[in-house]
């Protein structure tokens, strides 16, 4: 169910017209639906009901404190990739003991912070990182819980910038090196080997690669068991795709169907082992939790017809939403109040001084200056990738709850952008 729908000819977020939101709070604006957020998390939680499982939201997708708070209240854990993200979790009331720390370049300070806060596990991605973490933990008189992020060399069949499970990617330990790396980890005095991790990529519309990766992890767990290295949790990562409205794309795998097939594979493996030992299953969804919860609301400033292209110049730009420029991503653009007049084909572009500043290309729309557009499924990798390029303040973030609208991050003004700068004397 979409919580963004047309009611009486106006696009609404839940029961609130986006036109009213634009009038009250201005544009560009990120507008999120609380109900959509909770429904998306519930799809995972319901499928995990009665299971030894934990959903750790990958907060790089959207790290607003209000969103983290809502997810934490529902029992979610968090997948982080920096010390700053850990501090966000804590500021939002999240439980550090439900935090998985991923990423290839953890600093000593980040490791100390995470050990001090008592996180659930470090997802380690190289032998040098193992040795650094062992030294840091030893200096604190602690033992660090670790899993290895194993790179299974499975093709996720997604955009190359968001594929992470191949030999050519920077992430993880190569599958062929994983056994020896686990032996190293088990030999270090200040590490506790507790898990195994894998994440092959993002925006996956087919679960076959994920299930292939799972089979390789299971094979490795059995080998580790035979050497006395016992794995207590299996982290299959995230990456499930969402519907961006791209014509011809196959629909994303429903969360319940994907988890059902994954749990069936795990159950069959456990039954074949005959030891009854429970292995906790951890998931790291990000995009599939937040993408469909938000839109980027923007206003048409000018229409600029041309011999080869027509341009609709809007007040949002690539600094507000990088996905089209960075990935060539196709994101649906909907008029807030559709017009009955004749349509034209537009490239929808922003005011930033770059030819790459476009949010949508070749869209057939009936537009006039002052019209409002909503970029759909913009809740993931929008605000977290936003910048201040051209000294543009980042957009206001709003959370809709029925007919109520809450400001969850104020719009930046130029003075905010100058605040940390100092001129020479």
Q: What is the mean pLDDT of residues 386-390?
A: 96
273 is written with which tokens?
């082992």
| pLDDT for residue 274 | 59
Q: Which two tokens stand for residue 418?
A: 């100058």
**Is residue 46 included in any domain, yes or no?**
no
Q: Which helix (H) or strand (E) holds 37?
A: helix 34-47
Which of 380, 376, 386 shows the shortest CA–CA distance to 348? 376
Is 120 part of any domain?
yes
Task: Please choose, from the candidates 77, 78, 175, 187, the residue with its C-alpha nearest in 3D space to the C-alpha of residue 131.
Answer: 187
Containing 260, the helix (H) or strand (E) segment is helix 255-273
Quick one: tokens of 353? 């001084």
278 and 309 both lie in a single domain? no
Structure-block tokens of residue 52 = 């030894």
The pLDDT assigned to 156 comes to 52
Question: What value, to the nearest 5°, has the Cα angle with vertex 149 and ends 145 and 151?
Answer: 165
Q: Where are the alpha helices (DSSP H) in 74-147?
A: 83-91, 108-117, 127-139
For residue 335, say whether it is annotated as part of any ligand binding site. Answer: no
Checking if the pLDDT of 164 tops 70, the result is: no
> 285 among the known binding-site residues?
yes
Pairing of strands 29-33, 121-124: unpaired
Nearest of 331, 237, 260, 247 to residue 291 by alpha carbon? 331
Q: What is the pLDDT of residues 65-89, one digit of tens each?
A: 999 999 999 999 999 999 999 999 9
Q: Which of 258, 283, 308 is the last residue of a domain?
A: 283
Q: Assign 140 a pLDDT band (cuts: 50, 70, 90).
A: very high
Which pLDDT tens digit goes with each residue over 270-302? 888 756 678 999 999 999 999 999 999 999 999
Question: Do 117 and 221 belong together in one domain?
Answer: yes
pLDDT at 371 over 50: yes
Nearest-angstrom CA–CA distance, 425 and 305: 49
Own/partner pairs, 271-280, CB within 8 angstroms, 24+ separation: 273/222, 278/52, 279/52, 279/221, 279/231, 279/232, 279/233, 279/234, 280/52, 280/53, 280/54, 280/232, 280/233, 280/234
- The pair of three-digit structure tokens given for residue 389, joined into one six-digit string: 């390029």
Q: Give the CATH number of the domain where residue 174 resides.
A: 3.20.20.10
- What pLDDT, on the 0 to 100 scale, is given for residue 270? 86
Q: Are residues 252 and 107 in the same domain?
A: yes
Domain range for 157: 103-283
Predicted model pTM: 0.94
Mean pLDDT of the chain: 93
Q: What is the pLDDT of residues 14-29, one digit of tens each?
A: 999 999 999 999 999 9
Phi, psi angle pair for 136, to nearest 5°:
-65, -45
- The Cα 81–Cα 60 span in angstroms is 8
Last residue within a domain, chosen from 238, 253, 283: 283
Helices (H), 276-389: 287-290, 323-327
Note whether 233 and 321 are same-domain residues. Answer: no
Q: Is 239 assigned a ligand-binding role in the annotation?
A: yes
> Can you give the pLDDT at residue 162?
42
Read off the tokens for 124: 């380690």
Taking alpha carbons only, the member of 301, 354, 298, 300 closest to residue 331 is 298
Q: Is 389 annotated as a binding residue?
A: no
Condensed to tens digits (0 to 9), the pLDDT of residues 218-251 reads 999 999 999 999 999 999 998 888 988 887 777 7
> Looking at the DSSP assignment, which residues form a beta bridge with residue 75?
none
Q: At residue 407, does pLDDT exceed 50?
A: yes
- Single residue among 283, 305, 337 that ends a domain in this structure: 283
Same domain, 254 and 134: yes
Q: Is residue 235 within 8 Å of 123, Cβ to Cβ?
A: yes
Examine the domain organization and report whether 249 and 137 are in the same domain: yes
d(CA 375, CA 167): 35
| Contact criterion met (CB below 8 Å) for 136 and 114 | no
Helix, strand or coil for residue 240?
strand
Residue 301 assigned as binding residue: no
pLDDT of residue 155: 63
- pLDDT for 23: 98
Is the pLDDT reported for residue 161 higher than 50? no
For residue range 203-216, list pLDDT tens digits in order. Answer: 888 878 888 889 99
Was 287 annotated as part of a binding site?
Answer: yes
Is residue 270 annotated as involved in ligand binding?
Answer: no
Return phi, psi of residue 266, to 5°: -65, -40
In a domain, 95, yes or no: no
Residue 252 and residue 147 share a domain? yes
One domain for residues 370 and 402? yes
394/276 same-domain check: no
Pair 394, 27: CB distance under 8 Å: no
Element (H, E) at 297: strand 294-304
Catalytic residue among 56, 121, 198, 353: 353
Residue 261 is labelled as binding a ligand: no
| CATH number of the CATH domain containing 381 | 2.40.37.10
Annotation marks residue 56 as catalytic: no
Q: Partners of 150 in the beta sheet?
A: 173
Asked whether residue 6 is marked as a ligand-binding residue, the answer is no
Q: For residue 118, give Cα distances in angstroms to 81, 90, 101, 226.
A: 16, 11, 11, 30
Question: What is the reported pLDDT for 169?
Answer: 59
Q: How many CB atoms lie within 10 A of CB 302?
A: 10
Of the two residues 41 and 254, the one the predictor is more confident about is 41
Q: Are residues 412 and 359 in the same domain?
A: yes
Residue whose entry in the numeric block shows the structure tokens 């969850």? 408
Least confident of 8-12, 131-135, 145-149, 160-164: 160-164
Per DSSP, 123 falls in state E
Q: Are residues 237 and 301 in the same domain?
A: no
Total domains, the chain: 2
pLDDT value, residue 166 = 45
User: What is the dihedral sign for C-alpha 245, 57, 277, 148?
Assistant: positive
């Amino acid at each position: 169910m979409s919580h963004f729908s047309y009611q009486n000819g106006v696009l609404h977020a839940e029961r609130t017209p986006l036109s009213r939101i634009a009038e009250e709070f201005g544009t560009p604006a990120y507008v999120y639906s609380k109900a959509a957020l909770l429904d998306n998390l519930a799809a995972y939680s319901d499928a995990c009901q009665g299971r030894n499982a934990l959903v750790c939201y990958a907060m790089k997708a959207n790290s607003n404190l209000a969103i983290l708070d809502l997810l934490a209240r529902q029992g979610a854990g968090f997948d982080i990739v920096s010390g700053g993200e850990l501090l966000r979790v804590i500021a939002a009331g999240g439980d550090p003991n439900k935090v998985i720390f991923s990423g290839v370049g953890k600093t000593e300070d980040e490791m100390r912070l995470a050990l001090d806060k008592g996180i659930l596990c470090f997802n380690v991605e190289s032998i040098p990182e193992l040795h650094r973490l062992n030294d840091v933990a030893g200096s604190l008189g602690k033992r660090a819980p670790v899993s290895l992020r194993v790179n299974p060399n499975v093709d996720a069949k997604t955009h190359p910038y968001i594929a992470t499970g191949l030999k050519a990617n920077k992430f993880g330990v190569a599958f062929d090196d994983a056994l020896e790396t686990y032996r190293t980890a088990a030999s270090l005095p200040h590490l506790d080997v507790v898990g195994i991790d894998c994440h092959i990529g993002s925006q996956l519309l087919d679960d076959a690669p994920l299930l292939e990766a799972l089979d390789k992890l299971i094979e490795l767990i059995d080998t580790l068991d035979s050497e006395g290295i016992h794995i207590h949790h299996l982290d299959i990562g995230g990456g499930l795709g969402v519907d961006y409205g791209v014509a011809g794309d196959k629909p994303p795998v429903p969360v319940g169907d994907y988890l059902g097939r994954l749990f069936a594979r795990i159950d069959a493996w456990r039954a074949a082992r005959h030891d009854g030992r429970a292995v906790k299953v951890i998931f790291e969804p990000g995009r599939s939790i937040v993408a469909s919860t938000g839109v980027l609301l923007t206003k048409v400033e000018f229409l600029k017809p041309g011999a080869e292209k027509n341009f609709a110049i809007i007040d949002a730009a690539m600094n507000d939403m990088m996905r089209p420029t960075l990935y060539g991503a196709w994101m649906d653009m909907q008029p807030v109040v559709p017009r009955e007049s004749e349509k034209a084909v537009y490239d929808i572009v922003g005011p930033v001084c770059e030819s790459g500043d476009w949010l949508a290309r070749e869209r057939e729309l009936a537009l006039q200056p002052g019209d409002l557009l909503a970029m759909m499924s913009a809740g993931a990798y929008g605000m977290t990738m936003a910048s201040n390029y051209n000294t543009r303040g980042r957009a206001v973030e709003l959370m809709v709850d029925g007919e109520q609208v809450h400001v969850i991050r104020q719009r930046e003004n130029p003075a905010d952008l100058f605040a940390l700068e100092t001129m020479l004397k």
